[in-house]
A and B are shown apart, each in its own frame.
Chain A
């Protein structure tokens, strides 16, 4: 006898407990803090830019974790957008860094200190 599988009987993943996603969030938090500290302590503009990328990915990881927790597609969708924007931004930011370097022959952020108020 052929068994007909009804759509209602398909195995949908269940929402998971907060405790399941906790490790992902810890990793995300750790990446964010590493990125933040790196941004605050380093002077090289390329390194600072890499640190911002790290913070981006930390936020992305947290979004995916929460998406799994709530069982929604929003988190993953948003991360795709963030990746796209980050890629575009990377291209532009590196171009800016190259231009800034050409002006001052230095990659240090302090080379542009005169742009104060």
Chain B
């Protein structure tokens, strides 16, 4: 063999070996595209959830409108509870003042039989009849009488009505040894005076006095006090006015004179003065028909309801609403019964206002406890058929507020010695209680978007399908339909296959199969999502009005989530 050949060959191979780097320019390790895809291949994730209490899902502990109450069996339940004070509203009949009537002086002349000259001799004249004198009219005018006063049978005054009749004889007849008196007087006074004076006829007003002596000043004074007026059937008030009228004057009588050392001729002039004091009516007996101003209670604000009740699509028919009212009757101690009704006016965000009124209730006694639409020990039941609809108006959602009024308040009847003036206030407390039990036809829609996840890693996630299955056991009294839709950064729903992404849970179900599919449209993936939008619809059509409570539970067993997709990113 050719040694040189071998040597040259080996040297050549060596030379080639030393330059043996073979360059493959398809590779560039200085510039590697690190885009990588990490696949999740129909991965089923077993999720073990313990029993879910409704209290864990709905956090109502900070909501001022929702409370946990306890029923008769010791079970807790949620209720919308609003309450407050019923503002004081006065029962006021005002006052009645009667001015003193104007009465003029009347004069009459008594003729003597011949001349009377009795110097130093006592002469006992026979009684001389008083001449007729015209009676004069008087009137008691009661103005601005409260419209509630319909007919006054009698009125009593705050202080006595004082009547004075003064009969005056000439001064020279009085005094000394002379003795003058009026006898068998019949004086016409106002009728109806309530007085203890003997000889007064309340019906006619005629006062008979057997003897009224004249004093040393020549005056025969009659004073009579009356505590009120007995108006019988003449006390009808019309247009706030009641006028009582009649006549006063001397009707009949005699004057008896026993004179000494006196010379008279012709006759004597007698003057009669009358006065009746003004008076204020303190109380009355009669018919009253008092309409109290409507009591406006602070509206029930529903602006802070939990989110799940706040949708405009929510139509909530309350299964067992209740209103409890405790109201003080300011005239209950005077046996005057009142009546009224409670009206709730729902003010919806659309501008619609819908009133609902209860049946008429009675206010009996000094305090009345009323239970509307429910029975409760110690309370009087009052029907209120519309109460269950007070939060419902089709598709307007819940009202933003509910105005509460107690109106059509009326006190009517016959009263005795019923005082005028401000007799006190109607006031009290109310409580609106709506257990969250849904009547048939109720729809609660809750839609929320959990978004703004804003993660850069999410931008790189691409999902073909999410499949969720579970067995659901629940004692919720209402059925639930839940739909889930992914949303992008702008909050727009990302299109998925129709009729996917929703599942239903029937009420009171045991091991009910639940399945949810969120599947991208054919040939696409769910990408660029930034959150999910949940829409829960609760419908009540089973008639089960059991209210929601914190201890109601949902159990999802055998929960499996299967995900198919990938994460693609430049590392």
A binds B: no
